[in-house]
Amino acid sequence: MSDSGAATWTFLLEGGGEGEVTRYAALRTVVHSPRAFPPGATLRASIPGVACPLEVKVRTCKRISTEPLVFSVDGRLQNGTREMLDHLGRLPSP
């Protein structure tokens, strides 16, 4: 989804679609998704190689691209395991 050289973490959305975790700091998580999520919703996804699912409580959602359709979803990580937090800690801060 992103063509910048920055580190990202790919996930598979529940219900289909693939996105990327692009930024993370102190449970604040920013993801790029092919689907929009309303504020208050929970984005649920699975991450290849990680047992615990990704859950982000949505704070804001903005369309950032139309070709392909991409939304920037900003929210709070709900269920970070040590394994997940270690991976997310390698990403840039929002």
Side chain identity at residue 26, one-letter code: A
Distances (CA, A) of 11 to 39, 45: 20, 6
pLDDT higher for 64 or 51? 64
Stronger pLDDT, 69 or 48, i.e. the higher one: 69
Q: Check whether 49 has a pLDDT greater than 80.
A: no
pLDDT at 78 over 70: yes
pTM, full prediction: 0.84
pLDDT one-digit tens code per residue, 57-75:
999 999 999 999 999 999 9
Q: How far apart are CA 46 and CA 87, in angstroms?
A: 14
Which tops the pLDDT comparison, 6 or 32?
32
Percent of the chain with pLDDT strictly greater than 70: 93
Residue 10 has pLDDT above 70, yes or no: yes
Closest residue by Cα to residue 76 from 91, 56, 50: 56
